[in-house]
Amino acid sequence: MNDMTQSGDRLVVVSNRLPVVVKQVDGQWTFIPGSGGLVSALAPVLRNRGGIWIGWPGTSDADPATLSGLLREATRHSGYSLKPVALDQRDKEDFYYGFANEVIWPLFHDLQSHCNFAPRYWDAYNRVNRRFADVIMQNTRPGDFIWIHDYHLMSVGQELRAQGIAARMGFFLHIPFPPLDIYMKLPWRFPLLRALLEYDLLGFQTLRDRRNFLQCVRLIAPDLSVSGKGQVITIRVGNRELRVGTFPIGIDYQEFARGSKAEAVVRKARELHEDLPGRQVLLGVDRLDYTKGICHRFEAFRNALQRFPELHHRTTLIQVVVPSREDIPKYNALKMEMERLVGEINGQFTQSGWVPIHYIFRSLSRTELLAYYRACEIALITPLKDGMNLVAKEFCAATPENNSVLILSEFAGAAAQLQKGALLVNPYNVEEVAETIQRAIIMGPGERRARMHKLKRFVREYDIFWWVDSFLRAAIAKDLSNFPVPEEYVPHMETISL
């Protein structure tokens, strides 16, 4: 394994979006913190360690001088360099909304009926991946380790190899990798597999995802050989050798645990309890997305209220939906269906002093989110398919240990790690979910404490820093200690939180 020179020890993170969004507010260009699992995961790792994050800044309208100035300011706050990739409106339509969100996203979540295999989407995907590769070539130096993220950029490694780059490259897929019979529906299935084989290390969330990938690769490489066992294995395809591992992503456990004990959070959680006296509160927190199973969840809650009338007045479901991809028609239709179900269920069961579902459609501040985690006794996290689901881990880190229950879909990547403490359910089986809701509500304090103790211990041990260390060790035999804080970066952690 070729090691990096000491002078070149930099992490170069590449993702579809930068960890800040450049936008106009009241006629002025500014930057705001990005959102999503990737930003939550990697920002604490890169902060004040230097290195580079390459991605789209969220706009194509800002003039270059304005954009450059904003990103310099964002760099000063974040402690690592931000390098933009320019995308125009056509790229946004055909690459992001098209190939990424109408092909790969539904297909890799086993929802192929939502796919639109328009040929121009594939052309746009290759064009944009090539543009990302160009920016990487302009901003890296020998010895850098290039870590590319997620389904938007699967072909970047191949584009870099075509330009002659010799740097070591890793790729991590944050969403599931589909089984063979579903992946085969992709018209460009073989070119995409060949592109993935250009990396030195491929990372997946679960063993199931890695197994699915290997089954697909055998189609184009029947002579595939596998050696090793455990978290990371080595595969040889022709004259090329690469490593393939499972790296379930974690959270910054200590940040959530400490944050949940802040005075403002404790006060807000107390207010929530006072507004819902004598209730056990179930909590769902999801982006607006059809993979999250929110409508199935509402139907399961309705089923529980129908079959277990003793739950009336005793429990309330708070469902937080964070707006996402609202420009895509399917997401607007989903929002309308969710709102219809909430109105229907509340109309069916509401009684004086009790409304079964409290529905919130907006982003939450960090204080609000932590207060909900702390105040709600039961987390109801039931995606139809999910790469990991960090909300489940955040809830475990932030909730009090002695009075909380996690109900988790068996199709979430987190289920592989959290199965010994969570109550696992099939989100398609509304009767099973309803029965599990009833079980959670009547669960005694001893079982609750024992289960949550297991969950907290696991989330604490396999946190975000374990995830990064394990990936870097597999890729380049290094960990975070090999990426020291450069003197030119001044910490501004209190100024902006990503």
Tell me which of 169-173, 245-249, 265-269, 480-484 is least confident: 480-484
pLDDT reading at 429 higher than 50: yes
Q: What is the pLDDT of residues 323-356, one digit of tens each?
A: 987 777 889 999 999 999 999 999 999 999 999 9
Tokens 């929110």 label which residue? 294
Which two tokens mark 376? Answer: 């709600």
Domain with residues 253-461, CATH architecture:
3-Layer(aba) Sandwich (3.40)
Q: What is the pLDDT of residues 15-36, one digit of tens each?
A: 998 988 888 888 888 888 776 5
Q: What is the pLDDT of residues 367-385, one digit of tens each?
A: 999 999 999 999 999 999 9
Give the strand pairing for 11-17 and 378-381: unpaired
Residue 354 is given by DSSP the state: B
Given the residues 149, 152, 174, 296, select the one marked as catalytic. 174
Q: What is the pLDDT of residues 166-214, one digit of tens each?
A: 899 999 999 999 999 999 999 999 999 999 999 999 999 999 999 999 9
Listed residue (371, 366, 380) closest to 440, CA to CA:
380
Q: What is the pLDDT of residues 441-451, one digit of tens each?
A: 999 999 999 99
Chain center to CA of 318: 22
End-to-end CA, the chain: 34
Q: Is 313 a catalytic residue?
A: no
pLDDT reading at 254 higher than 60: yes
Element at 160 (helix H, strand E): helix 156-162
Q: What is the pLDDT of residue 476?
A: 82
Q: Is 91 a catalytic residue?
A: no
Q: What is the pLDDT of residues 282-321, one digit of tens each?
A: 999 999 999 999 999 999 999 999 999 999 999 999 999 9
Phi and psi at 443, nearest 5°, equal -60, 135
pLDDT reading at 258 higher than 50: yes
DSSP 379-419: EEE--SSBS--HHHHHHHHHS-TTS-EEEEETTBTTHHHHT
pLDDT bucket at 495, cuts 50 / 70 / 90: very low
Q: What is the pLDDT of residue 484?
A: 55
Phi and psi at 21, nearest 5°, equal -115, 125
Distance in angstroms (rounded) separating the CA atoms of residues 447 and 108: 36
Give the strand pairing for 225-227 and 81-84: unpaired
**Mean pLDDT over residues 38-49, rounded?**
68
pLDDT top residue among 41 and 47: 47
Question: Domain extents for the chain?
Answer: 6-249+463-482, 253-461
- Report helix, strand or coil for 493: coil
Report the range out of 20-34, 384-398, 468-482 with the highest average pLDDT. 384-398
Listed residue (269, 190, 301) closest to 237, CA to CA:
190
129 exposed, middle or buried (CB, 10 Å; 0-12, 13-18, 19+)?
A: buried
Q: Please name the residues in contact with 181: beta carbons below 8 A apart, sequence gap of 6 or more.
A: none
Of the chain, the percentage scoring pLDDT greater than 70 comes to 92
Given the residues 150, 200, 209, 386, select the one marked as catalytic. 386
Q: What is the pLDDT of residue 357?
A: 98
**Mean pLDDT over residues 144-149, rounded?**
94
Which two tokens mark 482? Answer: 């090999």
Q: What is the pLDDT of residue 40?
A: 63
Residue 285 is given by DSSP the state: E
pLDDT bucket at 274, cuts 50 / 70 / 90: very high
Asked, colleague to colleague, whether 6-249+463-482 and 253-461 share their fold, the answer is: yes
Q: What is the pLDDT of residue 36?
A: 58
What's the pTM?
0.91
How confident is the prediction for the chain on average, in pLDDT? 90
pLDDT bucket at 483, cuts 50 / 70 / 90: low
Domain with residues 6-249+463-482, CATH architecture:
3-Layer(aba) Sandwich (3.40)
Report the half-sphere exposure of 413 (CA within 13 A, side-chain side): 27
Q: What is the pLDDT of residue 326?
A: 73
Distance in angstroms (rounded) separating the CA atoms of residues 494 and 444: 40
> How long a stretch of residues is the chain?
498
